[in-house]
Amino acid sequence: MTSPEPEDGADAVEPNAPMSGRRLGRSTALMASGTIVSRGLGLVRGAMLVWAVGMTGQVADSYDLANKLPNTLYALLAAGVLNSALVPQIVKAFQQPGGKRIVDRILTIGATASVVAGVVFTIAAPIMVRIYSNGWSDDQLALATALAYWIIPQLTFYGLYTLLGEILNARGQFGPYMWAPVLANVISISGFAVYLAMFGAIGDPPPPLAIDEWTPDRIAVLGSVATLGIASQALVLIIPLVKGGYHWKWRWRGEKGELAALRTVVTWALAAVSIEQLGVLLTSRVMTAADTAAGADGGVIAGNAAYFNAMMIYIVPHSIVTVSLLTALFTSMARAYARGDNDTLISEISRGARLVGVFAIWASATLFLLGPLAVRVLVPTASAESVAVTAPVLQTLALGLVPLGLMVLVKRVLFVMEDARSVFFVQIPMTIAWIGVAYAVMYFAEPQWWTVGVALGLVASNTVAVVLRSVTLKRKLGRLDGRRIVTLYARAVVAMIPAAAAGWVLQRFVPPVSELSGWGGLFQAAAAGLGIALVMGLVYGIVLKLLRVEELDQVMAPLMRKLRRVR
pLDDT by residue (tens digit) across 325-341?
A: 776 677 778 778 877 88
pLDDT at 182 over 90: no
Return mean pLDDT, the chain. Answer: 79
Q: Give the pLDDT score at 261.
A: 63
Which has more confidence, 164 or 533? 533
Closest CA to 305 of 375, 398, 232: 375
CB 28 within 8 A of CB 324: yes
Residues 211 and 196: their CA atoms lie apart, in Å, by: 18
DSSP string, 83-133: IIIIHHHHHHHHTSTTHHHHHHHHHHHHHHHHHHHHHHHHHTHHHHHHHH-
What are the C-alpha distances in Å from 70 to residues 33, 39, 280, 305, 511? Answer: 27, 20, 13, 15, 40
Q: Give the pLDDT score at 204.
A: 55
Residues 320 and 440: their CA atoms lie apart, in Å, by: 33
Q: Give the pLDDT score at 486.
A: 92
Mean pLDDT of 14-25: 48
Which distant-in-sequence residues (6+ apart) come within 8 Å of 417 by Cβ?
337, 476
DSSP 77: I
DSSP 513: G
Which distant-in-sequence residues (6+ apart) come within 8 Å of 65 by Cβ?
129, 132, 133, 144, 148, 284, 288, 304
DSSP string, 38-51: HHHHHHHHHHHHHH
Residues 518 and 525: their CA atoms lie apart, in Å, by: 11
Which has more confidence, 264 or 390? 390
Which has more confidence, 46 or 57? 46
Residues 506 and 503: their CA atoms lie apart, in Å, by: 5
CB 313 within 8 A of CB 374: yes
Q: Supply the angle between the helices 304-317 and 260-297 in degrees, to the nearest 10.
A: 130
pLDDT tens-digit readout, 29-45: 555 565 667 667 777 88
Share of the chain above pLDDT 90, in %: 19
CB 155 within 8 A of CB 74: yes
Q: Give the pLDDT score at 430.
A: 93
pLDDT at 303 over 60: yes
DSSP 207: P
Q: Give the pLDDT score at 15.
A: 41
Claim: this prediction has a pTM higher than 0.85: no
Angle subtended at Cα 383 by Cα 381 and Cα 386, rounded to the nearest 5 degrees? 110
Mean pLDDT of 488-505: 94
Mean pLDDT of 462-481: 89
Q: Give the pLDDT score at 298.
A: 54
Which has more confidence, 23 or 111? 111
CB 418 within 8 A of CB 476: no
